[in-house]
A and B are shown apart, each in its own frame.
Chain A
Amino acid sequence: MKIVATYNIKGGVGKTAAAVNLSHLAAAGGQRVLLADLDPQAAATFLFRVRPRVKGGGTALIRGSAGLDKAIKGTDFDGLDLLPADFTFRNLDLILDTTKKPTQRLTRLLRPLRTSYDLVFLDCPPGISLLSEAVLHAADLVLAPIIPTTLSLRTLDQLTGFIGGLDGHRPALLAFCSMIDRRKRLHNEIAERLPTERDDVATTAIPALSMIERMAVQRAPVTAFAPRSAASRCYADLWAEVRARLS
């Protein structure tokens, strides 16, 4: 079982869209996939039409009393399950802080799922926190969407430094340019230059497309409701790069 975390210190960069579409593509390709929505905003949960509620909330989940297995819901897509978000997930940092070895907690919680899933996506809330550390400890690959602006590049450096400074297990990093506005010269320049300068940046970039925004209207992955769209083609290319990194 491989674990991919869609994560960035910044918010609103396309983490959830990437997690939802890539998990759908992976499942459509025959893998058994779990998408864990760790963000209390519950956007991924909303997109899959699942109610954002976990019995016992974040406390029961993190302490293991509720059982991760029981909280998982099937989506409308074969091979793709969802661990829904809960509003109490806003306190996951605090809950983790009350446990022993909090940074290893998520790894331990996910371990029993090894036989049930081939791939787990962790859709993370933005920020640097104890939860982020736990996510990075559990993940094999961190998939970081970045908006191609100067400040975002600074954030990418911060993230690289954060991962580099971790004790013990360090996940691989794959950043990709996200929400590119093709009308902006700076966006285009950075998106073109960055993959040539850094090994940890994917060559695929995801443009800001209205079709991706329509996911919230359709409440489904764009790769499901518009599989031949430009947006879906971009996510398919990105998935191919992610898959290659995982193997």
Chain B
Amino acid sequence: MSVCSHNFAYTDGERPVPAAVREALAPRFSVVPAARARTLRRTWLDTFDWRLHRAGLTLECVSDRGPAELVLSGTAGERITATANGTRWPVLAEGLPSGPLRDRLKGLTSVRALLPAAKAASTVSEFRLCNTDDKTVAWLTVDLLHPSRPSAGDPPAQLRLTAVRGYQAQADRIAQCLAAQPGMFRGVPPPLEAVLATVGHAPGEYSNKVDVELSATMPARMALAAVLLRLLDTLEANVAGTIRDIDTEFLHDLRVSVRRTRTALKLGAALLPDGLAAEYRPRFKWLGDLTTPTRDLDVHLLGFAGAAAELTSADPADLAPFHDYLAHRRATEQRRLARALRSARFSALTTAWRADLAGLTPARRGPDAGHAAAKIIGRAHRRTLTLGGAISAGSPPEMLHDLRKRCKELRYALEFFASLHDLPTHRGAVRELKGLQDCLGTYQDCQVQQEEIRAIAADLFASGVPVAALLAMGDLASHVGQRERRARSEFSSRFTAFASRQAQARFEVLTASAHS
């Protein structure tokens, strides 16, 4: 037979159990300390983009006097624990102690590292609530959280009243009495939420999506400024993680923000004051180019194990010199990138860009956001159709690369103005575009990788690596070549789907709905 609990947040007065509460419960019930208060050190962990939170999970590292324990709990009652074994943060899930907890997290976090989202000391006191026979009828657990980061104040005390089996009615009476106390509120936010709230944050607040709310009637310039500011926020949010090289996705998100910014500056140049886009486009190109070498090597290394597993005539272990070469080069490029992100040139760029965006005012006689969005998306769509339609079986790779860029511009334009559109239509348009983008992306990535493998093989040959390594790289290049040919042969059907009458009709609706 289950017993129910009552949860309260207590904001005012003395702690942990106010005298007023004791007085209100007397003489029917008395409050007796059950044990000495324990102080726990609690660290909540998640990926930077809150993958656990979004999956309804909370991961905590709790340490008392004994070894630290990892506790994964879910909103559906799931609970897995493991000893932390001195794990240091940040760490990829594969770096956690082996067991069910690691297995549960590996797929969920993928390439993202787990890092502290919040830290607090938690003082937990337990009290027995006794009837006139001194029989415990309920347990009261009081949890006082003290955030580690400087904050405006501690979160409200969290009180949990749990009935002893067979004494639910008495516990309910105690709960009523507690609820009537000043400063006592029923229900408590989860501890992570309570701790983050003291520093003005909330779980799940980071997203790399361009989630700005626009209205069709707002001035187009202000809509574009809102989009660009959101992109700048995302860019800046990822700088520290990129410099510290916490995981590969910080650089990915930073790079995507730069690309989106460049696209917005290109497609929306006419909406901005004269000269602004022209001033910043080369500056963001510099930033984008800085990120390319490290990201290309990241893509190589992230797919390395999968590619090595596909080898047919060579042993994957033979690729070790190639892997070491890539890792070494990546480390060098990463240091160069980190230096650039710490440079005065970079901070001058972001500071000036934020100030210029903040200073934008609506253009006189400028278009509204609905019209501008329709025009920008319509033009990008037409350009994509024209370029794609000109590609035949014999077209050079450069045409496909160029089409990939146009597809990205169209995709970004759709994302910038998504809040102006009907969601199902938007998703439908993105789905077909994404299919085409995936095909073009695979094609170009395979080409780049093949060229790199050849160039690196030449370097390694000169440095005298074993022949087996070069043969394995040849095998690898052959598989990459097969993937490239598959992608090239898929292009025609992908583009046909994108250019179909049905898909075009969706874009027409989309650009028309931007006016409403």
Contacts and interface: CB of A to CB of B under 8 A. Distances in A.
Contacts of A49: 133-135
A219 interface: yes
Contacts of A72: 1, 165-166
Given A73-B164, A73-B165, 5 more contacts: A51-B133, A69-B1, A74-B136, A76-B128, A81-B165
Contacts of B3: 74
A66 to B, nearest CB: 13
Nearest to B134: A49
Query: Among the interface residues A50, A51, A73, A76, which one has the most CB atoms of the partner chain B within 10 A?
Result: A76
A70 interface: yes
A56 B135 CA distance: 23
Contacts of A71: 166
B166 A74 contact: yes
A49 B135 CA distance: 5
B167 interface: yes
A5 B136 CA distance: 27
Residues of A contacting B: mostly: loop
Interface string B150-181: 00000000000000111100000000000000
A51 B1 CA distance: 19
Interface string A56-93: 00000000000001111111100001000000000000
Contacts of A69: 1
Contacts of B135: 48-50, 76
B56 to A, nearest CB: 28
B179 to A, nearest CB: 23
B174 to A, nearest CB: 15
A219 B136 CA distance: 13
Interface residues of B, number: 11
A48 B165 CA distance: 13
A227 to B, nearest CB: 15
A71 B1 CA distance: 10
A70 B167 contact: no
11 contacts: A50-B135, A51-B133, A71-B166, A73-B164, A74-B165, A74-B166, A74-B167, A75-B164, A76-B135, A76-B136, A219-B134
A228 to B, nearest CB: 18
Nearest to B128: A76
Interface string B1-38: 10100000000000000000000000000000000000
Contacts of B1: 69-70, 72
A174 to B, nearest CB: 30
A81 B164 CA distance: 10
A214 B183 CA distance: 43
A71 B135 CA distance: 16
Query: Among the interface residues B134, B136, B166, which one has the most CB atoms of the partner chain A within 10 A?
Result: B166
A54 to B, nearest CB: 11
A219 B133 CA distance: 10
Nearest to B164: A74
A180 B119 CA distance: 58
Contacts of A74: 3, 136, 164-167
What are the 9 closest A-B residue pairs judged by CB atoms, nearest first?
A73-B166, A74-B165, A49-B135, A74-B164, A76-B136, A49-B133, A69-B1, A74-B166, A81-B165
Nearest to A51: B133
